[in-house]
Each structure stands twice: as C-alpha cells, then as structure tokens.
Structure 1
C-alpha cells in the first residue's frame, strides 16, 4: 500500500504587518474596534507592487523543500492553488517550476477553487502519489488578494491579506492522508465572486471582489462542519481523536462555530486570522507551517484541514502528520 505523507512545510508573508489602524491612516473608512469585533483580524500582510503569486510561492516552496530534506529536482509534481495568478497563462505552477530551477519535465499546473484551493490541490496530489505515478509533490497555496480589492469597500478590503504556504507530499509506507472529501455547488456563485472578465484586451464587468458577508457566514459554518464530519466518518474516527483543527482562516466567528459543531475547544484550533487575515488558498498551509514550526503540531498528531471558498467550493483532509 502506498500512502502520501507531509514531509515538510514552508510559508512566506510579504513585507511587514499592516494593522487596522494603518488601513485607517491610508484612508479606509473603518476602525480597529469595528474590524476586530466582527472578524478577529488585527493585521495582514500586503505584497509590494512588484511581487506576484509565484514570487511568494517560491520562498514558501524553498522552505518546504528544505524542511523535507530533499532537493528541488526531487520534486516530480507541482500543484499551485491560486485565484490571483501571475498571468492568464502560463500557470503560476509552471513559473514556480522555472524559479526553482526544476528541469526534470515534471507536470506543473494550477488549481482554482478559491479559499478551498489548497485542500483541493492536496487531495489531487495525494491521488497521484497513491496511484504510484509520482513520488514527491510540491503543493502550494499562494495569493495576492490585495490586487482584487476595492479599497473603498470596508466590508471586504479589511478582510484579506497576501501570502503563501507550501508542503512537500511524499510517498510512504506509513499512513499520512487518511481521508479527503471535495464538494462544489455553483448555484451559490453570486454571494462571493469577482465578476470581471478579460475580453478584447479590456476588463469587462466588475474587477473587484464582492461578497454577501451574512450569506457566506451561514454557508461556511454549515459546510465546514459537515465536511469535517464526513472525513472523520470515512476514517472511522471521532472528533475527540483529532489533535488539531485547521480551518480556512476567514473569520474568527466561523472558526469558533465550526469548533463548537465538532465539540472541540478553541485550544485545539490553529488560528492565524488575527495576524494574517484571509489569505484565501494560502491560509491553511500558512497556519499549518506556523503550528509545525512553533512546536504545536508534532509527528503522529492527527489533523483536519478544511476550507470553503467562492464557487462555492469546500473540502477537508484528515491526516496523520
């Protein structure tokens, strides 16, 4: 039996932390109290003008490769989850492959499932490894959401940040990923989207992120609870047997409601939303890497990763670290 285990993690946050008060000083109509009370977010990181998703992914990937104790050329599959790619094409994954100096011809492609993107990408990589076709995958979530924000819309612009997180997933005789589930329902696309499109060299429609916050909250709380229970059932496990829950970092209230649904205390939830904001596909691997490096997540710990994003998409992975 071939399993897929995480061998190394890495992450990268651009620049210095930007506080809620910093946004006020830049002209955003909000306040620190307003943002913290509604979301739990205190700071976020914003990419410089010249930084792209592949730039952030490159540093996170290097750190994950170093942590895995392998060389870049040992990677034989690259999947990048992003909704803010460098170009229309080629893929951000192909650009990352070039920046890493990988010349072995391995497949490289992007996954676009918004905030569920990393869970989608990790699940796809696990299938490749379990099939025997690949031995070592680099899976990255990288976003520069600051590029698609309307800074006059305080209901959305205060929520998001930029960053990247990565893992190296390796073939193993020991169980790693034990269960996964992916879902989508496009009928809900209207409550969270960027409705712009490129046509004839021009952006048509609205190029900024738009969201119905209350509708997203209700949907997210339901499906995050459902999909976590789904992967636990697949693995024949109970919430009490899970050491750590790492949900998509969108809003502290969503994290709290999901933990309550699973009967888990917040002490078992990895939360970075206060310092990173919502980094979309990067949020789960960013939180994972932080908790691995600060010693909370140890080898043998059982972890649920779960995300929900525009589309709507949602999914979860249950793994032994």
Structure 2
C-alpha cells in the first residue's frame, strides 16, 4: 500500500517519507530486515508469534462465516483456489505458487506504507505489496493502517480472477500517469470506492468485493443491510469527484454490474478526464447528485459530522 494512503488510498497520508519510515522502524517493522530499493523485504515468517497466528485464525473464521451469502462468488472462488491457510499467517511464497500460475501476480512483503510511485510500480508489474505484520488483539475490529489480514485475506483472492487482475494492473499504470499529472486525488477515489469499498450487483442481490469491507466484520453487515448509506450505480466521473471516509463506515457505496464494467472503465486515457473534472466541484461522501443511478438513498442515521477526505 502507498505511503500516501494510510487507509489504502493515494493522497491520504499527510506526513513525510522520512517520518513514516522512522515510525515503522520504531515499531520494529524493519528490525533485522533488509529494505530493498523497491521497499520490499523478505517476509519474516520466523517473527510471527503464537498470538499472531491466533489472531489470523480468529479473523479468518469470523469473516469466512460472516461472508456467506454476502461476498461475490469471484472472491470465494479465489479464496478456494489459493488454499489460503486458516490456522496461521500464510507464507507469501506458497500463495505465489498458485497466484503466479493463475494470473501472473505475486504478493510481496513490505513493512508498511510505501511511496505512491513505488506502490503503482508494483501494481503495474503485477506485484501486490502486502504488510507482513499482524494487528494486536485489541485491534481486532479496527486499525488505521492495513495489516497482513486486510492485505492478504481482503485483497489477494480477487487477484485470481483474470478480469480483476487486469484491472489492478491497469490501475497501477494509471497511477504512474496520474502522479505526473497531479491527479492522484481523483484516482485515489476510484481505488477507494472500487478496490476497497466496492459492491457488485448479482442475480442473487448485492454482494461485497471491496477488501475494506471483506476484512471488516462490522462493515460486512453495514454495507449490505443498513439503511443509512447511499448505494449508487458505478460511474467513473462521479466517483472521481466524490470524497470519502477514513474514520467511519462509508456514507456511499458504488455498485458495479460486473468486473468487466470496471476494467472497461480504465481503458480510456484519463488525462482529458482529469482536466474536465478539475473544473467541476467535488462532492461530499454522502451527497446524492443529479444524474446518479440511485439504488437507494440513505437515511443518514449515525453519520459522523467530521470531515470527508
């Protein structure tokens, strides 16, 4: 994940690279590890404790049960194909044997947040940067920066899907362009509302595919069952104008019809789109705008009045 995306969206982190690396070093995330030029490290499998494995097992069991009838079939197929370990933190090398054969992707270990350009470069070359460390027992339900469970359980299963795998590669290539065009704020919103907090429409009803929801017990329920948030049909221009939440459940979820729709939306050159959108006002995370394909308007119950990002 990018250093500018403390909650996995480019542009969210407000510190400096030196500050973040010092924070990671002080937390022991770099201790004894060689930090390579691409900000990856060898996954320190020997450093996982019995507590780390117990937390993985508890989270895996809880989410696997919670996601029945809630998550997309593509996610479940990816999880089954990977054969991801349930009782202990997975070995990235073992996951990569299956992942590489399926779509040419691989998981690379990082100590935490990495610079934007590094993150995009990894995605553009079919490498997914995943934090190696596990959250603490008191962080089972919430932590600000993504840990190994969020990154691996939440993100990796969909990388088995060829269309979604292509979308992630395209996003990485788009990110490298956006960084040079000063448009990371707009592109980050696309990542946030799709890769992290996306919903998909199926014949059985709405289903989850975004990793931020998949790895969260509370949001797995809220995103589908609560009357509070808006649910709006996917539109790339609309999403790129829409701010989001990093401290609460989302006020709005955008719904795709298929992963093909998502991938096709990334085919055009976004440079003219960025210019077009710069002339338009941004929208609040909970706004409903003219022209929206509204599935339902939220009741707004429980919405926090803190600032959107």
Compute the TM-score of the two structures, normalised by the length of structure 1: 0.27
Of Structure 1 and Structure 2, which has the larger fraction of its residues in strand? Answer: 1
Q: Which has the higher contact order (CA 8 A, sep 6+)?
A: 1
Of Structure 1 and Structure 2, which has the larger fraction of its residues in helix? Answer: 2
